[in-house]
């Protein structure tokens, strides 16, 4: 099984709302789709792979997701702040 998307639990962008003062829109990362900035605008960077890792990391010490992108970077995200969607 592999991860096909991540959705933030607490993190995201807050947009103004007439009745509530603000709506929190979750941050979503999907394999084969472009990254979006905080204003929901697409960047010219595509998510190529998402992995889950746990163990004794010197810098982190907890569970993480690594998001590999077309620009050659690996973004490290805390697993307790994201919900993963898994697929075959």
- More confident: 60 or 26: 26
SS3 23: strand
Q: In the sheet where 23-30 sits, what is the strand order?
A: 23-30, 2-15, 82-87
Q: What is the CA radius of gyration of the chain?
A: 14
- Secondary structure letter of residue 65 according to DSSP: E
- More confident: 4 or 56: 4
pLDDT per residue as tens digits for the range 15-59: 666 666 666 678 889 999 998 876 677 899 999 999 998 876 666
């Amino acid at each position: 099984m592999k991860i096909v998307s991540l959705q933030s639990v607490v993190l995201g962008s807050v947009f103004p709302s007439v009745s509530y003062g603000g709506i929190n829109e979750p941050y979503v990362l999907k394999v084969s789709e472009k990254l979006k900035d905080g204003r929901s605008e697409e960047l010219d960077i595509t998510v190529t792979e998402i992995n889950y890792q746990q163990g004794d990391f010197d810098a982190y010490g907890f569970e993480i997701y690594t998001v590999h992108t077309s620009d050659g970077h690996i973004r490290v995200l805390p697993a307790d702040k994201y919900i993963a969607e898994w697929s075959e």
